[in-house]
């Protein structure tokens, strides 16, 4: 037996311990050494030795505990955090009409966001070019060092089968997007459905932070969703978990682009609501105008949106029965309308989702606004990317 083998095994063990520490910091943010011992299961001696080595290599740094942290007697314990200069992550939300991005460092700090329009009817290559231009522009305007980029997370609408697979395996319509971004910046591109990513963001930083079981509904041009079950994002066997917009309300209803009929999205997505307002004599030409008219309390617009919210509530009531979440979070542009949207949803759930059951399902507006999906793409990278920084 070679004398090198025990040394190799020891190096592998130490690397596994380092990866455990880095993964914990990436997932949870800054922690004290005592918290790291508890969360990693490493001994105090091993943990302290690993932290010391990682600090020498510039992978982690010590920071002061926030003023809100409880302090006992004596010197306050410093927190250990990933070095914010060790790498950057970009999250991109490639929607039907707009591309949004967020840039974060490995310390979980979102340092800049940006947005640009996508021309109507743009194909995959033009969508990819729009994303690349936005990344370049934001980098130049805000001094973001793209040379420090570790990975790009990409939120896409529609079914994304397996976000852990290489970019070449995503659905054909998205392959040019992931390929161009990967080639342009020389980094891995991880993809998932943008509504699911918004759910992950709200669970990581927003309205359902650390909630173990939640349902997220994104109501905008279309309707999407995401489920957190037992603290984990649910993707399903075929990447279709959370597609609440394609639950059928009427099997004989109008055909949907998904191939089904009478889908929720076909009834309450913004194009359908614009048509409903026009049929009742109120001309609004875009989602932004529709939201503004509702905020101005135009009666017909408020009635159309309230009825649509009740339809969404019916679908969410079915979801509540099946998943029994602690909280429902409603995002997208319509969530900004507050009680006009949330009250009909709450009423439908109270009426239809096991009304005799002694439980309370909280319904809350999303916290992260229009950047939720881009931030969720970053959360995905921070949790799923290999945990070793670029040293």
pLDDT tens string, the chain, 391 residues long: the values are: 444 466 667 877 888 888 889 888 877 888 999 999 999 999 999 999 999 988 887 788 998 876 555 555 555 678 998 887 778 899 999 887 889 999 998 777 788 999 999 887 778 888 889 999 999 999 999 988 888 898 999 998 877 765 554 444 455 667 788 888 999 999 989 999 999 999 999 998 899 987 999 999 999 999 999 999 998 999 888 888 999 999 999 999 999 988 999 999 999 999 999 999 999 999 999 999 999 999 999 999 999 999 999 999 999 999 999 999 999 999 999 999 999 999 999 999 999 999 988 788 999 999 998 899 999 999 998 876 443 433 3
Whole-number Å distance between alpha carbons of 267 and 92:
28
Q: Check: CB of residue 262 under 8 Å from CB of residue 252.
A: yes
On whether both 256 and 354 belong to a single domain, the answer is yes
**Domain at 22, CATH number:** 1.10.10.10
User: Residue 255: which residues within 8 A CB-CB, separation 6 or more?
Assistant: 261
Provide the β-strand partners of residue 241. none
pLDDT on residue 167: 46
Provide the β-strand partners of residue 285. none
Q: Can you give the residue range of the structural domain that contains 116? A: 88-197+373-384
In a domain, 389, yes or no: no
On whether both 69 and 123 belong to a single domain, the answer is no
pLDDT on residue 75: 56
In a domain, 391, yes or no: no
On whether both 184 and 222 belong to a single domain, the answer is no
**Coil, helix or strand for 127?**
helix
**Domain at 156, CATH number:** 3.30.420.40
Whole-number Å distance between alpha carbons of 336 and 325:
22
On whether both 42 and 141 belong to a single domain, the answer is no
On whether both 13 and 74 belong to a single domain, the answer is yes
On whether both 160 and 240 belong to a single domain, the answer is no
In a domain, 380, yes or no: yes
**Coil, helix or strand for 291?**
helix
On whether both 229 and 351 belong to a single domain, the answer is yes
139 phi, psi to nearest 5 deg: -60, -45
From 53, 82, 111, give the residue that closes a domain: 82
pLDDT on residue 3: 47
On whether both 231 and 350 belong to a single domain, the answer is yes
On whether both 78 and 107 belong to a single domain, the answer is no
* Total tally of structural domains belonging to the chain: 3
Across the chain, where does the E strand assignment appear? 31-32, 60-63, 79-82, 88-94, 98-105, 110-117, 149-156, 188-193, 214-219, 223-229, 232-234, 327-331, 362-365
User: Residue 74: which residues within 8 A CB-CB, separation 6 or more?
Assistant: none
On whether both 336 and 361 belong to a single domain, the answer is yes
In a domain, 205, yes or no: no
In this structure, what token pair is assigned to residue 44? 């105090």
In a domain, 206, yes or no: no
* DSSP state letter for 298: -
Tell me the DSSP string of 312-334: HHHHHHHHHHHH--SEEEEESGG
In a domain, 259, yes or no: yes
In a domain, 390, yes or no: no
User: Residue 218: which residues within 8 A CB-CB, separation 6 or more?
Assistant: 194, 195, 198, 224, 225, 226, 331, 332, 372, 373
From 52, 82, 112, give the residue that closes a domain: 82
On whether both 266 and 361 belong to a single domain, the answer is yes
* DSSP state letter for 285: -
Q: Check: CB of residue 25 under 8 Å from CB of residue 81.
A: yes
On whether both 336 and 259 belong to a single domain, the answer is yes
231: left (phi over 0), alpha (psi -120 to 50) or beta: left
Q: What is the pLDDT of residues 272-286, one digit of tens each?
A: 999 999 999 999 999
Q: Check: CB of residue 217 under 8 Å from CB of residue 331.
A: yes
pLDDT on residue 135: 95
Across 139-185, where does the E strand assignment appear? 149-156
Q: How many CB atoms lie within 10 A of CB 17?
A: 18
From 82, 102, 133, give the residue that closes a domain: 82
């Amino acid at each position: 037996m070679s004398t090198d083998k025990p040394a190799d095994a020891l190096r592998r063990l130490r690397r596994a311990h380092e990866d455990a520490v880095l993964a914990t910091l990436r997932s949870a943010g800054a922690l004290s050494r005592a918290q790291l011992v508890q969360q990693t299961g490493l001994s105090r001696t091993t943990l302290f030795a690993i932290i010391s080595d990682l600090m020498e290599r510039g992978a982690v740094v010590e920071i002061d505990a926030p003023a809100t942290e409880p302090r006992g007697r004596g010197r306050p314990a410093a927190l250990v955090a990933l070095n914010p200069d060790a790498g950057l992550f970009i999250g991109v939300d490639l929607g039907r009409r707009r591309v949004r991005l967020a840039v974060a460092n490995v310390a979980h700090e979102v340092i800049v966001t940006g947005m640009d329009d996508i021309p109507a009817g743009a194909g995959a290559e033009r969508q990819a070019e729009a994303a690349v231009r936005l990344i370049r522009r934001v980098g130049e305007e805000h001094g973001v060092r793209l040379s420090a980029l570790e990975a790009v997370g990409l939120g896409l609408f529609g079914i994304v089968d397996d976000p852990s697979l290489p970019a070449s395996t995503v659905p054909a319509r998205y392959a040019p997007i992931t390929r161009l971004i990967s080639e342009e910046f020389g980094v891995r591109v991880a993809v998932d459905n943008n509504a699911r990513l918004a759910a992950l963001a709200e669970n990581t930083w927003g309205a359902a932070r650390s909630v173990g079981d939640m349902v997220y509904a994104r109501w905008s041009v279309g309707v999407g969703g995401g489920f957190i079950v037992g603290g984990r994002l649910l993707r399903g066997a075929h990447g279709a978990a959370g597609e609440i917009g394609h639950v059928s309300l009427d099997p004989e209803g109008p055909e949907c682009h998904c191939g089904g009929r009478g889908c929720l999205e076909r009834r309450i997505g913004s194009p359908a609501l614009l048509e409903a307002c026009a049929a009742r004599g109120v001309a609004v030409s875009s989602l932004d105008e529709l939201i503004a008219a509702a905020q101005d309390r135009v009666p017909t617009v408020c009635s159309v949106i309230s009825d649509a919210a009740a339809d969404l509530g019916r679908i969410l009531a079915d979801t509540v029965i099946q998943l029994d979440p602690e909280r429902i979070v409603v995002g997208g542009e319509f969530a900004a309308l507050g009680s006009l949207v949330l009250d009909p949803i709450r009423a439908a759930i109270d009426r239809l989702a096991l009304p005799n059951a002694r439980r309370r399902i909280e319904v809350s507006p999303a916290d992260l606004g229009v950047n939720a999906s881009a931030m969720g793409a970053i959360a995905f990278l921070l949790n799923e990317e290999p945990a070793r920084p670029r040293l």
